[in-house]
């Protein structure tokens, strides 16, 4: 095999299984060796469930030998952000509050992944309750960026991003309330997809904000993001936010290119609203050029400002998060880390009128984005405005973390994907974001696949290990 097993994508691994050039046990052993080497440097895992994974890999191998394949991810190991329930394992949310919180059942997305044949490898680091930040006052160390472990990997799905980028597992699950799948994808140079709101069940996922939360995949290729979405998407009547859509075959258009597509470039996000680092600006201009050269029609478009999107998101998120955390914050505030406590407490002071006002403005913002989609098929815009800062530089992290254009699409619920768009002069990933119409996740993946083929950034590997 020309590619080291730990760098195989999920699609490549399943093809190797089918050809009998690799077995699920051999792949798992290679990943466990990789984890033993890099976990002390990256801290991607909170809990590695190696023995259960070995048992599942042996079962998957026996099934392949007998001619039975359960689904498109048969025998593929997956990492799971530790706000998502896996039966028999603690769901700690990276917090002292929930250290003994053992899940009694799988989350809906875990059940779907198991049905597709995937193997749960373990629980991954996150920011505390998916809202804190890279923190050193929690029961587990923060995950680090494999491109340079002195830098943070983005969050809050930090272990998911770091582990996929470092070759600890081919695919992972994260959650995204204000960009928490797309931020680690941007910082770690991988693919992070926030599906259309309601497309993926959140049952069994610890909530942060009921009307903003999404669950999505982090992968090293666009094809793997489509495979993962095929596995986890679908209506769940037990999730009040679940859509009745049961769409599948999200990878059906990956090879179609962009020749017949109109792409709206949201330049003001990174040129005016939050002026980006010059290297980010250059990477976005090059992304637009690449897509135009591939046959897409590029148009400049204007949406509400990033500052207004961020304000609406923050009012809604902190109000809903306070409704979840109020009892613990009143009774056990000292058990929270400083960053999470600081970000959750403002929800206590937001009134009903402000919350309703934010929801009303949200509806207007949705209408504005929908109007834009009358004239274009996909949006191109920034994800992060800056490369990842040093993990020990709290001031710079606090400055750069809010400098992003992911939050708008949690407010509106449109599908959005972030992926690598280059490397900074310091050797850290730069990123681009693609956004589509509701339930046009396949079109977002189509554009991302065309960009991936044209640039080859997905073939670059972090200089670690």
Q: What is the mean pLDDT of each run of 10 residues along the chain (465 residues)?
A: 88 97 98 98 98 98 94 98 98 98 98 98 98 94 98 98 98 98 98 98 98 98 98 96 88 96 98 98 98 98 98 98 98 97 97 98 98 98 98 96 97 98 98 98 98 97 92
Residue 210 lies in a domain: yes
Question: Could you tell me the CA-to-CA distances from 41 to 36, 133, 147, 185, 399 in Å, in that order?
Answer: 10, 18, 11, 19, 25
3 state DSSP class of 256: coil
Dihedral Cα 434, 440, 441, 445, nearest 10 deg: -60
d(CA 368, CA 234): 27
pLDDT of residue 245: 80
Q: Which of 436, 337, 424, 438 is nearest to 384 (CA)?
A: 424
81, 160, 319, 383: which one is catalytic?
A: 81
Strand partners, 416: 194, 435
Can you give the CATH number for the domain in which 412 is found?
Answer: 3.90.1300.10
pLDDT of residue 247: 79
d(CA 411, CA 400): 20
Residue 465 lies in a domain: no
Residue 464 lies in a domain: no
3 state DSSP class of 301: coil
156, 242, 389, 431: which one is catalytic?
A: 156
Dihedral Cα 127, 131, 133, 137, nearest 10 deg: -70
Residue 404 lies in a domain: yes
d(CA 8, CA 219): 11
Range of the domain at 362: 5-459
Q: At what angle do helices 222-232 and 10-19 cross, to 10 degrees?
A: 80
Q: Answer yes or no: 81 catalytic.
A: yes
23, 135, 157, 180: which one is catalytic?
A: 180
Is the bond leading into 365 cis (omega within 30 degrees of zero)?
Answer: no
d(CA 7, CA 224): 13
pLDDT of residue 2: 63
User: Between β-strands 77-81 and 297-300, what pairing exists: parallel, antiparallel or unpaired?
Assistant: unpaired
Residue 356 lies in a domain: yes
Q: Answer yes or no: 242 catalytic.
A: no
Q: How many domains does the chain have?
A: 1
Q: Which of 225, 184, 152, 189 is nearest to 431 (CA)?
A: 189
Residue 394 lies in a domain: yes
Strand partners, 122: 48, 79
User: Between β-strands 378-381 and 429-436, what pairing exists: parallel, antiparallel or unpaired?
Assistant: antiparallel
d(CA 150, CA 140): 17
* CA atoms within a 13 Å half-sphere pointing along the CA-CB vector of 82: 34
* pTM of the entire predicted model: 0.97
Q: Which of 219, 206, 218, 144 is nearest to 177 (CA)?
A: 206
Q: Answer yes or no: 424 catalytic.
A: no
Query: What average pLDDT does the chain have?
Result: 97
d(CA 248, CA 354): 38
CB 196 within 8 Å of CB 412 = no
């Amino acid at each position: 095999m020309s590619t080291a097993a730990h760098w195989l994508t999920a699609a490549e691994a399943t093809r190797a299984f089918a050809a009998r050039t690799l077995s699920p046990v051999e792949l798992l052993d290679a990943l466990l060796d990789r984890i033993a080497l890099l976990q002390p440097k990256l801290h991607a895992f909170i809990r590695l469930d190696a023995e259960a994974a070995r048992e599942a890999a042996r079962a998957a191998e026996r099934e392949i030998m007998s001619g039975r394949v359960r689904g498109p991810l048969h025998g593929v190991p997956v990492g799971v952000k530790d706000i998502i329930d896996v039966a028999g394992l603690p769901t700690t949310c990276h917090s002292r509050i929930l250290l003994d919180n053992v899940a009694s059942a799988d989350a809906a997305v875990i059940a779907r992944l198991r049905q597709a044949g995937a193997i749960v490898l373990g629980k991954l680091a996150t920011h505390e309750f998916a809202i804190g930040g890279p923190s050193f006052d929690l029961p587990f160390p923060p995950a680090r960026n494999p491109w340079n472990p002195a830098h943070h990997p983005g969050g809050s799905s930090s272990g998911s991003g770091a582990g996929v980028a470092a070759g600890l597992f081919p695919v992972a699950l994260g959650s995204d309330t204000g960009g928490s799948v797309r931020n680690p994808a941007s910082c770690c140079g991988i693919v992070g997809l926030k599906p259309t709101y309601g497309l993926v069940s959140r049952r069994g996922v610890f909530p942060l904000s009921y009307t903003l939360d999404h669950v999505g995949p982090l992968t090293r290729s666009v094809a793997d993001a489509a495979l993962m979405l095929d596995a986890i998407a679908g209506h769940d009547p037990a999730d009040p936010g679940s859509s009745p859509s049961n769409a599948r075959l999200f990878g059906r258009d990956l090879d179609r290119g962009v020749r017949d597509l109109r792409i709206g470039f949201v330049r003001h996000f990174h040129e005016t609203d939050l002026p980006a680092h010059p290297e980010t600006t250059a990477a976005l201009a090059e992304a637009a050029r690449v897509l135009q050269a591939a046959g897409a029609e590029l148009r400049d478009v204007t949406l509400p400002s990033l500052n207004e999107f961020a304000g609406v998101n923050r009012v809604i998120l902190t109000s809903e998060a306070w409704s979840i955390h109020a009892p613990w914050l009143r009774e056990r505030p000292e058990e929270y880390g400083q960053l999470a406590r600081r970000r959750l407490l403002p929800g206590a002071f937001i009134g009903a009128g402000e919350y309703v006002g934010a929801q009303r403005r949200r509806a207007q913002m949705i209408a504005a984005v929908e109007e834009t989609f009358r004239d274009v098929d996909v949006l191109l815009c920034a994800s992060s405005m800056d490369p990842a800062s040093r993990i020990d530089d709290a001031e710079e992290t606090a400055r750069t973390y809010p400098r992003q254009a992911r939050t708008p699409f949690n407010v509106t619920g449109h599908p959005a994907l972030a992926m690598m768009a280059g490397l900074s002069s310091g050797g850290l990933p730069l990123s681009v974001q693609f956004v589509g119409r509701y339930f046009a996740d396949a079109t977002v993946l189509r554009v991302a696949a065309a960009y991936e083929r044209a640039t080859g950034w997905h073939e670059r590997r972090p200089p670690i290990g």
